[in-house]
Amino acid sequence: MSNLIAPHGAEQLKPLFVDDDKLRQQMVAEGAALPSITVSSASAGNAVMLAAGYFTPLEGFMDKADALSVGESMTTKKGLFWPTPVLNLVVDAGSIKAGDRIALNDPNREGQPLLAIQQVEAVETFSDAEIQTLTRQVYGTTDSEHPGVAEFVAQGKTLISGPIQVLNYSYFEVDFPDTFRTATEIRADIAKRGWSRVVAFQTRNPMHRAHEELCHMAMQRLEAEGLVIHMLLGKLKPGDIPAPVRDAAIRKMIELYFPENSAMVTGYGFDMLYAGPREALLHAVFRQNMGASHFIIGRDHAGVGDYYEPFEAQEIFDKVPAGALKIELFKADHTAYSKKLNKVVMMREAPDHNKEDFVLLSGTAVREMLSEGKAPPEEFSRPEVAQILMDHYRS
């Protein structure tokens, strides 16, 4: 058994998925008779993350006091470090009250089937001022143009808190059978491979040459035995590349450019928050839960537009109370191919370079090339990866 990092705030993982088949069938039957609500996509994502053990040691949806405490100080009322509120927000809770058992229906699957059963501990409402404050604390802005803010504010101001039992993994297990993995499964796989120093890489995009080399660099410098590429499989903003295409491109890269048994390609079921620094912290929490000892955080991690400073997602880790997180950071700069050195480097490690010495392409430029059927230069993107992306854009 390899010597794996402990989960966050617990001796062992606490997945909230009901894995006893008989009990699950009983609960599905029970759910049909309970008062029900169709939750938001964000709440459904929270339920899936709770089910899969990624949100260990939480037992369900936070109440108002916990949410406000997390917003203010990144800790729950009981002092657990947690960077973003995990909520079940609704526009109108109807007649639901404390003490009820309710069925939570999935907004992301046809027919909105049962996803989880919640034991309601409280039904509370945020004031407009509280929502404003919380939004600013978590997202760093209240600008409704920010995709995460827009999504958060649209969910409503009433929160239904209490523990949940989750009965399936929504569409993730069905749509991504080869990639969606629970924290429990990833931990078991890491242990089976005998890895203990494990680097996690977060992505919501296909990986180009710079990302690939960054992973090699981190593994080498940290003397890690393994890499877990862990991709977001939930909702993104319009224009982002769909998960199946990303998945195919990343698998091709691993197959051709990584040694055997050095990298795992996996994914998790959650919608992107685009919350920059706070989301970077959340990413670190659930990577620790899945068994990673180290986590790569680069420039503009989990950001969008110009809402965050380039390295704000690294700097926020300096505000984490000592001992609150066991996972360690690998702080990366922007990586790019150096024409002078004929290899990918971190830009800060090449002080004698000018901008012209690097192969730099904007996301827009790359998308245009791909959609015209032109492969970006090999220094930017592996040809086999570019081919998969060109096929996507041209279809």
Task: Give the CA radius of gyration of the chain.
Answer: 21
The backbone torsions φ and ψ at residue 186, rounded to the nearest 5 degrees and listed phi first, read -65, -45
Separation CA 265–CA 248 (nearest Å):
10
Please compute, for residue 280, the number of CA atoms within 13 A of its CA located in the half-sphere on the CB side. Answer: 28
Plot region of 286 (φ>0 → left; ψ -120 to 50 → alpha; else → beta): alpha
Is the separation of the CB atoms in 225 and 337 below 8 Å?
Answer: no
Amino acid at 117: I
Separation CA 235–CA 226 (nearest Å):
28
- Give the three-state DSSP class for 169: coil
Separation CA 237–CA 67 (nearest Å):
25
Residue 280 neighbours by CB under 8 Å, 6+ apart: 297, 301, 302, 313, 314, 316, 317
What is the end-to-end Cα distance of the chain in Å, rounded? 46
Q: Which residues are catalytic?
A: 204-205
- Reported for 129-135, long-range contacts at CB under 8 A and 24+ positions apart, including other chains, are 130/64, 130/68, 131/157, 133/68, 133/71, 134/67, 134/68, 134/71, 134/85
- In the DSSP assignment, the letter for residue 75 is B
- Looking at the chain, how many residues does it have? 395
The backbone torsions φ and ψ at residue 200, rounded to the nearest 5 degrees and listed phi first, read -105, 140
Q: Inter-axis angle of helices 41-51 and 147-154, to 10 degrees?
A: 90
